[in-house]
Amino acid sequence: MFDRDAPHTPRGTKLSTPAERSAAVNAAIEQIDPEWIIQIPSSTLKTIIDAQSARMGPRAFPATREEEAVGIGSGLALAGRRVMLIVQDNGIGNALTALTTFPQAYHIPLLMLVSRRGGLGEYNSMIHTFCEHVEEVSRAAQLRSFSLDGTVPLDEWTRRIVDAHEFARITHRPVLVYLNLMRE
Amino acid sequence: MKRWDALGLIADAYPRDPMVVTLGGTTRELAAMRRSPSHLYVLDSMGLPPAIGLGLALGLDDSSFDKVVVVEGDGSLLMGLSTLATIALTTPRKLVVLVLDNGAYSATGNQPTAAAAVDLCAIAMACGMQTGEVRDLEELRAALEWTRTTDGPLFVRAHTDVEAAKVPYLLEDPVVLSSTFAAYVARNR
């Protein structure tokens, strides 16, 4: 019998919980050890942003808009600093022009951790239209991205985020990692 | 005050420190007049130069550079105006924002911006920046000396004519522009 409180992948492996996934993201960030984090909060990112703000103090700070975060992060990267952006996916619409005309065009490595919204478990009815298609939108803009959700083993979450950071560095471009930190 | 003449004074005042130069005629005129590896020529990305400069100023706070200079226009500043709030939050002591305010979107045919209706210095001051406002070359020269000797974040509004110099487009690959600039910063930091 299907137990709705114990979600399973198609192969029968139990899904990880949002708290476990957030812990895996925090472990990846600590391995990457950014000198600066520019963030715009999301309800699903609270655990991560709180942990990194406590760890990094004023070197983890909020931007007012996603495109501004792209600009600040690009400036830090041009100064030779390790920098990471953390935003939610409905802000990718704000950031598209900045991403494609600056770090993408100028070959500036920039890792963006992007929380997914929309879909099952979403409470905000306004958010689905953009968020359900955000990966297609970023692909159409030729922005490289990777996706992690509850079906991906937890130890792979940490490893893939660390790998994505290195991938951005060696391919000299912005790289987005979509993180599904919602219920499923 | 012609923008061309203002840019000449700015280039003279800051021959070594990193400079982020806004899109359109400003970047084309400065590249034509005084091309330098210390300049980051932003070919598009309207609204982004203060944010890029903020990142550079934070990242180069412990470097040998005295300042990170942003040469911005009034239209682009208004597009990215909320960056001033993040400047207030982060207080980058090396950041200098120089706004060449001609009151127009000159690259698209001199349509008026909203700048004439706005006290840009009051906004910058409310965002924790020390400010100055200048209307001729002598005042600009004095303001530049002030920026060189005063801790930031600093903001100068320089009123210029809409007249633009006849210079060619800057059509180089942005990758060359950024790698030249990043190598200069790494070599001289």
**Grouped pLDDT means (10 residues each) for chain A, 184 residues:** 45 80 97 98 93 97 98 98 97 97 98 92 84 95 96 94 98 97 78
Q: Is A81's Cβ below 8 Å from some Cβ in B?
A: yes
Residue B85 lies in domain: 3-188
Write out pLDDT tens, residues B158-175: 999 999 999 999 999 999
User: What is the average per-residue pLDDT within B112-123?
Assistant: 97
CA distance B45 to chain A (A): 6
Mean pLDDT lowest for which of A127-136, B68-77, B176-185? A127-136
Residue A3 lies inside a defined structural domain of this protein:
no
Q: List the alpha helices (DSSP H) in B101-149.
A: 120-126, 137-149
Task: Give me the pLDDT at residue A1, please.
Answer: 36
> Number of residue pairs across A and B with CB atoms under 8 Å?
112
Residue A162 lies inside a defined structural domain of this protein:
yes
Whole-complex ipTM: 0.97
A65: chain B residues, CB-CB within 8 Å? 82
The residue type at B150: T
**Does A73 contact B189 at a Cβ distance shorter than 8 Å?**
no
**Does A61 contact B90 at a Cβ distance shorter than 8 Å?**
yes
**CB neighbour class for B97 (10 Å; exposed up to 12, middle 13-18, buried from 19):** buried
The reported pTM is 0.95
Say which CATH number the domain at A89 has: 3.40.50.970
Residue A153 lies in domain: 22-118+149-179
Say which CATH number the domain at B109 has: 3.40.50.970
Residue A175 lies inside a defined structural domain of this protein:
yes
**Does A72 contact B86 at a Cβ distance shorter than 8 Å?**
yes
Residues A42 and A72 sit within 8 Å (Cβ to Cβ): no
Nearest to A36 among B50, B58, B89 (CB): B58
Q: Which DSSP letter does residue B1 get? A: -
The pLDDT-based confidence of B45 (bands split at 50, 70, 90) is very high
Task: Give me the pLDDT at residue A12, please.
Answer: 56
Task: Give me the pLDDT at residue A90, please.
Answer: 94
Write out pLDDT tens, residues B5-30: 999 999 999 999 999 999 999 999 99
Residue A76 lies inside a defined structural domain of this protein:
yes
**How many domains is chain B partitioned into structurally?**
1
**How many domains is chain A partitioned into structurally?**
1
State whether residue B104 is helix, strand or coil: strand
Task: Give me the pLDDT at residue A10, please.
Answer: 52
State whether residue B172 is helix, strand or coil: coil
Nearest to A106 among B53, B178, B185 (CB): B178
